[in-house]
Amino acid sequence: MKPGRPATRWRPPGAALLALALAWALGGQMALGRIDPALVVPWLLPALLPLAWFGRADAPRTRLRANLTALAILLVGQGVLSVALAGYLPWPQLGVTALAGLVAATLADWIVQRAARRLVAKALIAKLAAILWFAAGHAALAALYEEPASDTPVTMLSGLPLRWAGEGDLAEMLQRGAADDPALVRLQRTHRIALVDSLADHVPRAGAVLLLAHPRALAPQDLVAIDAFVRGGGRAVILADALSGWPAPHPTGDSRNPPVTSLLTPLLDHWGITLGAAPSGATAAQTLDVDGHRLRLFSAGRFEALPAGCTPQAGARILLCRLGAGEAWLVGDADLLFAPLWQPLVGDLAHLRRADTIEWIGARLDGPDYRAPLLRPVWIAQNRR
Q: Total domain count for the chain?
A: 2
Do both 136 and 207 map to the same domain? no
Check residue 77 and give its pLDDT: 97
Q: For residues 112-120, give the mean pLDDT.
A: 88
Q: Does one domain contain both 161 and 250? A: yes
Residues 213 and 125 in one domain: no
Do residue 136 and residue 172 come from a single domain?
Answer: no
Task: Quote the CA–CA distance of 282 and 299 in Å, as a whole number.
Answer: 6
Lowest mean pLDDT among 129-133, 135-139, 279-283, 303-307: 279-283
Do 223 and 305 have their domain in common?
yes
Residue 134 to residues 22, 23, 86, 204, 348, Cα–Cα distance (Å): 12, 12, 26, 45, 16
User: Greater confidence, 34 or 117?
Assistant: 34
Helix (H) or strand (E) holding 289: strand 286-290
Q: Could you give the 3-state DSSP secondary structure of residue 333?
A: coil
Q: Note whether 132 and 213 are same-domain residues.
A: no
> Last residue of some domain: 117, 145, 173?
145
pLDDT of 176: 46
Within 13 Å and on the Cβ side, how many CA atoms surround 136?
11
Predicted local distance difference test score (pLDDT) of residue 187: 93
Rounded CA-CA distance 75/279 in Å is 43
- Residues 125 and 172 both lie in one domain: no
Whole-number pLDDT of residue 178: 56
Residue 245 pLDDT: 78
What pLDDT score was predicted for residue 260?
82
pLDDT at 180: 85
Domain co-membership, 140 together with 162: no
Q: Do residue 199 and residue 315 come from a single domain?
A: yes
138 and 160 fall within a common domain: no
Radius of gyration of the chain (CA): 25
Question: Quick one: pLDDT band at residue 7, thresholds 50, 70, 90?
Answer: low
Same domain, 239 and 187: yes
| 380 part of a folded domain | no
Domain encompassing residue 169? 153-369
pLDDT at 1 over 50: no
**Longest CA–CA separation in the chain, Å:** 84
pLDDT of residue 60: 94
Decide if 297 contacts 288 (C-beta within 8 A): yes
The region of weakest confidence among 41-45, 245-249, 323-327 is 245-249
Alpha-carbon dihedral 106, 42, 26, 378, rounded to 10 degrees:
-110
Bridge partners, residue 286, by sequence: 297
Which ranges of the chain does DSSP label H, i.e. alpha helix?
6-9, 11-25, 29-32, 44-54, 60-86, 91-114, 119-145, 170-176, 182-190, 220-231, 265-271, 357-366
- Please determine, for residue 358, whether its predicted confidence score (pLDDT) is greater than 70: yes
CATH of residue 350: 3.40.50
Banded pLDDT at 385 (limits 50, 70, 90):
very low
In tens, the pLDDT along 322-349 reads: 999 999 999 999 999 999 999 999 988 9
pLDDT at residue 165 is higher than 90: no
Contact assessment for residue 341 and residue 335, using Cβ atoms and an 8 Å cutoff: yes
* CA–CA separation, 149 and 359 (whole Å): 11
Q: Which of 163-172, 268-277, 321-330, 345-354 has the lowest mean pLDDT?
A: 163-172
Q: Do 168 and 305 belong together in one domain?
A: yes
Q: In the predicted model, what is the mean pLDDT of the chain?
A: 89
pLDDT score, position 4: 47
**Span 357-364, average pLDDT:** 94
Instruction: For residues 8-14, give the mean pLDDT.
Output: 85
Note the pLDDT of residue 267.
95
Residues 6+ apart with CB under 8 A from 272: 305, 306, 307
Tell me the pLDDT band of 238, cut-offs 50, 70 and 90.
Answer: very high
Q: How many CB atoms lie within 10 A of CB 326?
A: 18
